[in-house]
C-alpha cells in the first residue's frame, strides 16, 4: 500500500468521525486549559457593575428604602428600586409560566433573598459597599413555607396583587394561595379500578426541594449603544433566542436591535432557562447610563434566589391483582412553586410532563391531578437535568412500584417485569395520553439483572439480614432497582410552546468551497459537547469529516431561531434539524455530482463521503470535489453555493429508557452509606458518540447521588434558607462519587431522522429512584415502606432508629 | 461575597505583629491560611479593619522532633504535617487527622496555628492537641507565656489568648502506644458530625494510659478525663470500651444543626468514640 492506494470503505468511514465514533470533545482543549470564555470573562471599556440588596425576610412589608448613604459611597452611580422601574412598567415581569414576578420589591417581599434594590457602581467592590449602605425598613408578616398550610382558610395572603382573581393562566384558583389545578386522565374510572382491586398500595412520596447549582452562577452583561440603538446582552442563557424575544417585548426595543449572546456556559441544568431580575435591572441600568453593566450573582444568591427544582408532594394509590398485574394508578400532587409561578414548562403543561408518571408500565387506567401553591419560598420549579417534571414522575412511579411490591410480598424486579409495556405494544398509548415511540424494556431489564447477578445479590442480602439479626454485623445491604421511561425532545408545535413560541429547533449549514463547513443551531451547549456531536451527525449525513465542521451556537445575530437547550431536547430536535439540513445539502450535492459525472441524478448514490455511479464505484465525485464545483461551475438549473437550513418540528416526543441498579451498604449506627456497585443501562436510541454518552451518564448519576443522598434547599419555619452555601448544600466531589458501570441497548426512535432519543437527563431521572430505592430496600426486611429524601446520615439513622434497630 | 475595605499589613517578625495588634486593638486580626477568616470577611460577618498577614513573619515555621519533645511552628500547614516523616514516626495521629481535614488545596494553605487558635469547635486540631496534652506558646507585648491546650478554650471562638497576643508554637511529648482519629463527616470539606482522638499505651495485655478527646460535640473541643481513666487497667474489651464511651458522652453537649439532631449526634459520637478506642488499642 502507498499514498496512491485508495482508502477502503472502512477507512473512509473512520476518517469522517461520524455517528457512533467516540470522537474526543473539541471543546475540552479550551476548557481544560482555562481558556473558556464565560460571561464573567466579558470585559468592556467603561463597564459598570450591579449588585442586589436582598431581603433578609421571607415575608415582610417594605416600609421604606433609604438610598442616600449608598449614593454617597464613592463609585456608586445609581440605586434602582421598584419606584424607578414602575414608570417603565418594568417593576414586574412576566414569568414563563404565565404568572408575573417582581423585578424589585414592590411594597412587600415574599421570600428570603428577594431582590429589593439594585446598586450600580464603577467597580464590583463599590457596588457591594453600596448594597451594604442601603437602609431598608421592613415590617414582618406571617410566613408560610408549607404548601398544605398555605391552602388553609386562614393562611396569610401572599400575592396581594392577585386579589380577586379567581382564575390564572391555567384555569380556576380556589384559594388566595392557589395557583392552578391541572388534571389528566379519567378520575372516575381510576377510582373504580382501584376500588375494585384485590390489592391497593397508598403512599405519600415527597420529592424535596433542591437546586441545579451549576458551577457557573447566573449573570449577564448588558450594553446599550445609544448611537445605533442596539442592545447587546451577553448572558448565561439556555435559550438565547427566547431571551431576545422577551427582552424585545418588555423593553419595546425592536427585536433586530437586540443581540443576545450566550458564550461558554458552565452548566445550566435548568437553572439558566428563566429570566431573572438581574437581567432586567442590568438592561435598564445600561440604558440609563449608556454604559455596559455586568451582573454576576454569587453562590449564595444562586442557591437562595434563582430557580430551584422539585418540591412535589405526590400522593399515590396503585392497585393490582393478587398476581401483581397493575390495574390502576391515582396521583395527586401538591406542588410548591414558591412566591411566583416561574416554572419553565411548555405553556399547556403547568406541571410539565408529570403525566409520564405511569412510567414503563402498562397501566390500563390512571389519573393525575396537580395543585400549584404559593409559599414564601424562592420561585422556580425548573427541570433540573430532566425533561419537565419527568424526574418527579419517575421517582413517584418507581417508589409506588416498590411499595406495591411490599404490599404484594413480591420481588420488586419480578413485579416490574410483569407489568412492563411489551415490545409488540409500541407505539404505545398511555392512559395519560402519551404515545410512547419505541421500547424494549424486557430485554434491557433482563440484561441488567444478569449483569449484576441479581439473584446472587438477593441471596447475599438475605444472609446479611440473618447475620444482622444475630448481631454479627451493623451493616445492611440495599439493592435499588429502577426502570425509567423518559419523555424528552419538546416538542411538537401542536402542543408545545413557550410564551407562544413553538418548540421547534433549527440548523443552518454552509459548505465552504474547499469542502469544510460551518453549521449554526438554535440550541446552546452548557457542557454537553454540541460542537463535537452535532458535527458528527453532519459528518455522517453529508460526508465531510467532523473535524472539518465548525459548530456555532448562542449568538442570536448569527444562529437561526431556536428554543434552546434543556429537557434533553438538543439531540431530539436540533439534532434532527441538523440531519434534515444535511440531507438538503446531500440532495443538491447529488445533482451536482450527476452533472459532473455526466449521468442522470438517479444514477448516482451516496457512499460515505462521495457520490458514485451505481454499478461503477470507480466513477465518483467526493463531497470535497462537489463542494468546489458548487462554487466554481455554472451548472444548468442549479443555483451556485451549497447551503441549507432546516427548522424541525418533531412529530412526537422521544422516549429514552433505562435500567439502573444500585447496590448500597448502610451502617445503621452512623447512617453512612457506601455505593458498592452502580450499573446503568441506557437506551437512548441511536448513539452518536458513546464516549460523550458515558460522560453524560456519569455526570447525571453524580447529580442523582447528590439529590438522593443529601442535597436540598431547606427552610426553617420563618423562611430562612438553611442550606445557602456549599458547606450545607451537597455538591459531590470525586471523593463522594462512586464508580459507575454503564451499558446500553439500542432501540431507535422510529420518527426521528437518525433514530436518536437524547440521553443527557436520563441518569438524573433514573438515578434518583435507584439510589433512594437502595436505601429503602436495605430496610425492607425490617418493615420500612417510605422515608423521604434526601437520605443523608441523620435521616438514614432516623429510619434505623424508628425501626428499633438501635439498642 | 465581596469583603469590605481593609488595610493590609505584612510584617516581617513577631515584634512587628505584636506592635500592629497593640496599635489597632480589636480592629486588627492576624491571618495565617485564611480558611476561616477570609470567608467571614467576604460574608461581612466579621469586621476587620486591619488584616495582619503572617506569611512573611520569621520564626513561625518548622517541625522539630527532638527526642521526646515535639515542637511545631504556628505557620506549619496541614500539608507539611502530612509530609513530615519524622513527625509521622513520632506522632502518627497528626497525619491521620490532617488527612481528614478538607482537601489538598485547603491543606496547602491551612495552618495548625490558625486551626487551634481560632477556637472554632469544628476544627480538628484542637481536640487532637487536647488528646496529646499539648502546650501553646503565646507571645504578646509582655513577653511569652505557655498555656495548656486543655486550658485554652473557653467557648466557641473564645480562648484565653489576649487580642494583642500571637500563638507562635505548639509543643507536646511524643505520644506512646496506639492512636486513632475517627471522624464522621457528610462530605469532603465539611466539619465533623462527630470525631474522636484517642491515644492508648499498653503494657502486656493491659492499658496503662489513655487519652480521649472529641471534636464538634460541644462549643469547645472536649477532653474526657473520665473516658481515659475508664480504660486504664483494662484490656480495652467491649465492657471497658462501653464504660469509656459512657464517660465520654457525659462530657459532651452537642447542638442540632444541618448535620442532624442532638440524639443522632450523641449516637454517632458513641459509635465514633468506640471505634477510635478499638482502633487505637489494636495499634497499641
Is the per-residue pLDDT at A3 higher than 80? no
| Cα nearest neighbour of B189 on chain A | A727
Q: How many residues does chain A have?
A: 807
Closest CA to A293 of A86, A39, A37: A39
Closest CA to B76 of B112, B116, B129, B107: B112
pLDDT per residue as tens digits for the range B81-130: 999 999 999 999 999 999 999 999 999 999 999 999 999 999 999 999 99
What are the residues of chain A with a beta carbon less than 8 Å away from any beta carbon of chain B?
51, 124-125, 127-129, 132, 298-300, 669-672, 710, 714, 722-723, 726-728, 730, 732-733, 735-736, 792-794, 797-798, 801, 806
Candidates A51, A670, A722; nearest CB to B268: A670
**A794:B184 CB<8 A:** no
Candidates B4, B189, B258; nearest CB to A723: B258
All CATH 3.90.1170.50 domain ranges in chain A, comma separated: 39-141+217-265+272-300
Per DSSP bridges, beta strands A673-683 and A497-498 are: unpaired
B130-150 burial by CB neighbour count: b if 16+ within 10 A, else e?
bbbbbbbbbbbeeeeeebebb
Q: Tell me the backbone φ, ψ of residue A569, rounded to 5 degrees.
A: -100, -10
**B264:A723 CB<8 A:** no
Domains of chain B, start order: 7-53 (3.30.43.10), 63-173 (3.30.465.10), 178-283 (3.30.390.50)
Chain centroid offset of residue A261 CA: 20
Candidates A132, A710, A714; nearest CB to B44: A132
The predicted structure's pLDDT at residue A370: 98
Split at pLDDT 50, 70, 90, the class of A566 is confident
pLDDT per residue as tens digits for the range A750-793: 999 999 999 999 999 999 999 999 999 999 999 999 999 999 99
Architecture of domain A39-141+217-265+272-300: Alpha-Beta Complex (3.90)
Candidates A125, A672, A735; nearest CB to B2: A125
> What is the mean predicted confidence (pLDDT) over A624-636?
96
Closest CA to B249 of B229, B276, B267, B231: B267
A298 to chain B, minimum CA–CA distance in Å? Answer: 7
Is the minimum CB–CB distance between B264 and chain A shorter than 8 Å? Answer: yes
Name chain A contacts of B189, Cβ cutoff 8 Å.
726-727, 733
CB-based contact A744:A692 (threshold 8 Å): no
B residues 48-87 near A, CB within 8 Å? none
Q: What share of chain A is helix, strand, coil (3-state, %, to 5)?
A: 30, 25, 40
**B188:A733 CB<8 A:** yes
| CA–CA gap between residue A309 and residue A219 (Å, rounded) | 19
B95 to chain A, minimum CA–CA distance in Å? Answer: 19
Q: 3-class DSSP state for residue A296?
A: strand
B149 to chain A, minimum CA–CA distance in Å? Answer: 28
Chain centroid offset of residue A512 CA: 35
**A710:B187 CB<8 A:** yes
Is the minimum CB–CB distance between B44 and chain A shorter than 8 Å? Answer: yes
| Cα nearest neighbour of A796 on chain B | B264
pLDDT per residue as tens digits for the range A100-155: 999 999 999 999 999 999 999 999 999 999 999 999 999 999 999 999 999 999 99
**B271:A670 CB<8 A:** yes
The predicted structure's pLDDT at residue A251: 87
CB-based contact B41:B183 (threshold 8 Å): no
CB-based contact A444:A681 (threshold 8 Å): yes
Strand partners, A520: A508, A552
Is the per-residue pLDDT at A29 higher than 90? yes
Is the per-residue pLDDT at A1 higher than 60? no
Name chain B contacts of A726, Cβ cutoff 8 Å.
189
The predicted structure's pLDDT at residue A386: 87
pLDDT per residue as tens digits for the range B219-259: 999 999 999 999 999 999 999 999 999 999 999 999 999 99
**A710:B186 CB<8 A:** yes
Inter-helix orientation angle A390-408/A762-778, to 10°: 30
Active site residues of A: 238, 385-386, 761
B284 to chain A, minimum CA–CA distance in Å? Answer: 25
**B5:A129 CB<8 A:** yes
**A670:B44 CB<8 A:** no
Cell of A688: 452518536
The predicted structure's pLDDT at residue A250: 87
Per DSSP bridges, beta strands A673-683 and A616-622 are: unpaired
All CATH 3.30.365.10 domain ranges in chain A, comma separated: 9-34+505-648, 308-490+653-802
Candidates A128, A671, A728; nearest CB to B2: A128
| CA–CA gap between residue B261 and residue B193 (Å, rounded) | 10
Closest CA to B161 of B142, B139, B185: B139
pLDDT per residue as tens digits for the range A234-263: 999 999 999 999 899 888 999 999 999 999
Which of A296, A736, A797, A798 to probe the B interface (max B CBs under 10 A)? Answer: A797
Which of A727, A728, A729 to probe the B interface (max B CBs under 10 A)? Answer: A727
Name chain B contacts of A213, Cβ cutoff 8 Å.
none
B215 to chain A, minimum CA–CA distance in Å? Answer: 16
Q: Tell me the backbone φ, ψ of residue A678, rounded to 5 degrees.
A: -140, 120
Topology of domain A9-34+505-648, per CATH?
Answer: Aldehyde Oxidoreductase; domain 4 (3.30.365)
Name chain A contacts of B261, Cβ cutoff 8 Å.
794
Is the minimum CB–CB distance between B255 and chain A shorter than 8 Å? Answer: no
> What is the mean predicted confidence (pLDDT) over A682-704?
97
Closest CA to A356 of A328, A384, A397: A397
Mean pLDDT of the residues in chain A? 96
Is the per-residue pLDDT at A10 higher than 80? yes
Cell of A730: 451537597
Cell of B61: 515555621
> What is the mean predicted confidence (pLDDT) over A430-445?
98
Q: Tell me the backbone φ, ψ of residue A499, rounded to 5 degrees.
A: 50, 35
Which of A302, A671, A728 to probe the B interface (max B CBs under 10 A)? Answer: A671
B residues 233-252 near A, CB within 8 Å? none
Closest CA to A673 of A551, A763, A510, A792: A792
Give the whole-number percent of chain A exceeding pLDDT 90.
95
**A722:B259 CB<8 A:** no
In terms of C-beta density within 10 A (0-12 exposed, 13-18 middle, 19 or more buried), how is residue A561 classed?
Answer: middle
B2 to chain A, minimum CA–CA distance in Å? Answer: 6
Give A308-490+653-802's CATH code, choosing from 1.10.10.10, 1.10.540.10, 3.30.365.10, 3.30.70.360.
Answer: 3.30.365.10
The predicted structure's pLDDT at residue A2: 63
Amino acid at each position: 500500500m502507498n499514498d496512491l492506494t485508495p482508502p477502503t470503505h472502512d477507512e473512509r468511514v473512520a476518517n469522517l468521525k461520524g455517528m457512533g465514533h467516540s470522537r474526543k470533545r473539541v471543546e475540552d482543549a479550551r476548557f481544560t486549559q482555562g481558556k473558556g470564555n464565560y460571561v464573567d470573562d466579558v470585559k468592556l471599556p467603561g463597564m459598570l457593575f450591579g449588585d442586589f440588596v436582598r431581603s433578609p425576610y421571607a415575608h415582610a412589608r417594605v416600609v421604606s428604602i433609604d438610598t442616600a448613604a449608598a449614593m454617597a459611597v464613592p463609585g456608586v452611580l445609581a440605586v434602582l428600586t421598584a419606584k424607578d422601574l414602575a414608570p417603565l412598567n418594568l417593576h414586574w415581569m412576566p414569568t414563563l409560566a404565565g404568572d408575573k414576578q417582581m423585578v424589585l420589591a414592590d411594597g412587600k417581599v415574599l421570600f428570603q433573598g428577594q431582590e429589593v434594590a439594585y446598586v450600580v457602581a464603577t467597580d464590583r467592590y463599590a457596588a457591594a459597599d453600596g448594597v451594604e449602605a442601603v437602609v431598608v425598613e421592613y415590617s414582618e408578616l406571617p410566613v408560610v413555607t408549607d404548601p398544605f398550610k398555605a391552602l388553609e382558610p386562614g393562611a396569610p395572603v401572599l400575592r396581594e396583587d392577585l386579589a380577586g382573581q379567581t382564575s390564572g393562566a391555567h384555569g380556576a384558583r380556589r384559594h388566595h394561595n392557589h395557583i392552578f389545578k391541572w388534571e389528566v386522565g379519567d378520575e372516575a374510572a381510576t377510582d373504580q379500578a382501584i376500588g375494585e382491586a384485590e390489592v391497593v398500595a397508598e403512599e405519600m412520596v415527597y420529592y424535596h426541594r433542591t437546586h441545579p447549582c451549576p458551577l457557573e452562577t447566573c449573570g449577564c452583561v448588558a450594553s446599550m449603544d445609544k448611537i445605533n440603538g442596539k442592545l447587546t446582552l451577553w448572558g448565561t442563557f439556555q435559550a438565547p433566542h427566547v431571551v431576545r424575544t422577551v427582552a424585545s417585548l418588555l423593553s419595546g426595543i425592536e427585536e433586530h436591535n437586540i443581540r443576545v449572546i450566550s458564550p461558554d456556559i458552565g452548566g445550566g441544568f435548568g437553572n439558566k432557562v428563566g429570566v431573572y431580575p438581574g437581567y432586567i435591572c442590568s438592561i435598564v441600568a445600561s440604558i440609563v447610563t449608556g454604559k455596559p453593566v455586568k451582573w454576576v450573582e454569587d453562590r449564595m444568591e444562586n442557591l437562595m434566589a434563582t430557580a430551584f427544582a422539585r418540591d412535589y408532594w405526590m400522593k399515590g394509590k396503585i392497585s393490582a391483582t393478587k398476581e401483581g398485574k397493575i390495574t390502576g394508578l391515582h396521583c395527586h400532587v401538591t406542588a410548591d412553586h414558591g412566591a411566583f409561578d416561574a416554572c419553565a414548562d411548555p405553556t399547556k403543561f403547568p406541571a410539565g410532563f408529570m403525566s409520564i408518571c405511569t412510567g414503563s408500565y402498562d397501566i390500563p387506567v390512571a389519573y393525575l391531578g396537580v395543585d400549584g401553591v404559593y409559599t414564601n419560598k424562592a420561585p422556580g420549579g425548573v427541570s433540573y437535568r430532566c425533561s419537565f417534571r419527568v424526574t418527579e414522575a419517575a421517582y413517584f412511579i418507581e417508589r409506588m412500584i416498590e411499595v406495591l411490591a411490599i404490599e404484594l410480598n413480591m420481588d420488586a424486579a419480578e413485579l416490574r417485569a410483569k407489568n412492563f409495556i411489551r415490545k409488540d405494544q409500541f407505539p404505545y398509548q398511555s392512559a395519560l395520553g402519551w404515545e410512547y415511540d419505541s421500547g424494549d424494556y424486557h430485554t434491557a431489564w433482563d440484561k441488567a439483572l444478569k449483569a449484576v447477578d441479581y439473584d446472587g445479590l438477593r441471596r447475599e442480602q438475605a444472609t446479611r439480614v440473618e447475620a444482622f439479626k444475630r448481631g454479627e454485623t451493623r451493616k445492611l445491604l440495599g439493592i435499588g432497582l429502577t426502570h425509567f421511561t423518559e419523555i424528552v425532545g419538546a416538542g411538537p408545535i401542536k402542543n408545545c410552546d413557550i410564551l407562544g413560541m413553538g418548540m421547534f429547533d433549527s440548523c443552518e449549514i454552509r459548505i465552504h468551497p474547499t469542502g469544510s463547513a460551518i453549521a449554526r443551531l438554535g440550541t446552546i451547549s452548557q457542557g454537553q459537547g454540541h460542537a463535537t456531536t452535532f458535527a458528527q451527525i453532519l459528518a455522517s449525513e453529508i460526508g465531510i469529516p467532523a473535524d472539518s465542521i465548525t459548530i456555532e451556537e448562542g449568538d442570536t445575530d448569527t444562529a437561526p431561531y431556536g428554543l434552546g437547550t434543556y429537557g434533553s431536547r438538543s439531540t431530539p430536535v436540533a439534532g434532527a434539524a441538523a440531519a434534515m439540513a444535511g440531507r438538503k445539502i446531500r440532495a443538491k450535492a447529488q445533482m451536482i455530482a450527476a452533472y459532473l459525472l455526466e449521468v442522470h441524478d438517479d444514477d448516482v448514490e451516496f457512499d460515505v463521503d462521495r457520490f458514485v455511479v451505481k454499478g461503477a464505484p470507480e466513477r465518483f465525485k467526493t463531497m470535497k470535489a462537489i463542494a468546489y464545483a458548487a462554487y466554481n461551475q455554472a451548472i444548468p438549473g442549479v443555483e451556485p453555493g451549497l447551503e441549507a437550513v432546516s427548522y424541525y418540528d418533531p412529530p412526537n416526543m422521544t422516549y429514552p429508557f433505562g435500567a439502573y441498579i444500585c447496590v448500597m451498604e448502610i451502617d445503621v449506627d452512623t447512617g453512612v452509606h457506601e455505593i458498592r456497585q452502580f450499573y446503568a443501562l441506557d437506551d437512548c436510541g441511536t448513539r452518536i458518540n458513546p464516549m460523550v454518552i458515558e460522560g453524560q451518564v456519569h455526570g447525571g448519576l453524580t447529580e442523582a447521588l447528590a439529590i438522593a443522598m443529601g442535597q436540598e434547599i431547606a427552610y426553617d419555619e420563618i423562611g430562612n434558607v438553611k442550606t445557602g452555601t456549599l458547606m450545607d448544600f451537597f455538591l459531590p466531589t470525586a471523593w463522594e462519587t462512586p464508580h459507575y458501570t454503564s451499558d446500553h441497548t439500542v432501540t431507535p426512535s422510529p420518527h426521528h431522522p437518525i433514530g436518536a432519543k437524547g440521553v443527557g437527563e436520563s441518569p438524573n431521572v433514573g438515578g434518583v429512584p435507584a439510589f433512594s430505592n437502595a436505601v429503602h430496600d436495605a430496610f425492607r426486611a425490617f418493615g420500612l415502606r417510605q422515608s423521604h429524601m434526601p437520605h443523608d446520615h441523620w435521616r438514614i439513622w432516623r429510619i434505623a432508629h424508628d425501626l428499633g434497630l438501635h439498642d | 461575597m465581596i469583603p469590605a475595605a481593609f488595610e493590609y499589613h505584612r510584617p516581617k517578625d513577631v515584634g512587628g505583629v505584636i506592635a500592629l495588634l497593640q496599635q489597632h486593638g480589636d480592629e486588627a486580626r492576624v491571618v495565617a491560611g485564611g480558611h476561616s477568616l477570609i470567608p467571614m470577611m467576604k460574608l461581612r460577618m466579621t469586621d476587620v479593619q486591619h488584616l495582619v498577614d503572617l506569611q512573611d513573619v520569621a520564626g513561625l515555621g518548622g517541625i522539630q522532633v527532638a527526642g521526646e519533645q515535639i515542637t511545631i511552628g504556628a505557620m506549619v500547614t496541614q500539608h507539611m504535617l502530612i509530609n513530615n516523616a519524622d513527625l509521622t514516626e513520632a506522632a502518627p495521629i497528626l497525619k491521620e487527622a490532617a488527612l481528614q481535614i478538607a482537601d489538598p488545596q485547603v491543606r496547602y494553605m491551612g495552618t495548625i496555628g490558625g486551626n487551634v487558635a481560632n477556637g472554632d469547635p469544628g476544627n480538628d486540631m484542637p481536640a487532637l492537641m487536647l488528646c496529646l496534652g499539648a502546650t501553646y506558646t503565646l507571645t504578646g507585648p509582655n513577653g511569652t507565656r505557655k498555656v495548656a491546650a486543655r486550658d485554652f478554650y473557653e467557648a466557641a471562638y473564645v480562648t484565653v489568648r489576649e487580642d494583642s497576643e500571637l500563638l507562635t508554637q505548639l509543643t507536646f511529648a511524643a505520644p506512646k502506644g496506639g492512636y486513632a482519629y475517627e471522624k464522621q463527616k457528610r462530605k469532603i470539606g465539611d466539619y465533623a458530625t462527630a470525631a474522636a482522638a484517642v491515644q492508648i499505651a499498653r503494657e502486656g495485655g493491659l492499658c496503662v494510659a489513655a487519652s480521649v478527646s472529641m471534636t464538634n460535640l460541644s462549643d469547645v473541643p472536649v477532653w474526657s478525663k473520665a473516658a481515659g481513666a475508664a480504660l486504664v487497667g483494662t484490656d480495652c474489651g467491649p465492657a471497658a470500651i462501653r464504660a469509656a464511651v459512657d464517660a465520654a458522652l457525659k462530657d459532651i453537649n452537642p447542638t442540632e444543626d444541618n448535620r442532624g439532631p442532638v440524639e443522632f449526634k450523641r449516637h454517632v459520637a458513641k459509635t465514633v468514640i468506640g471505634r477510635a478506642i478499638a482502633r487505637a488499642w489494636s495499634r497499641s
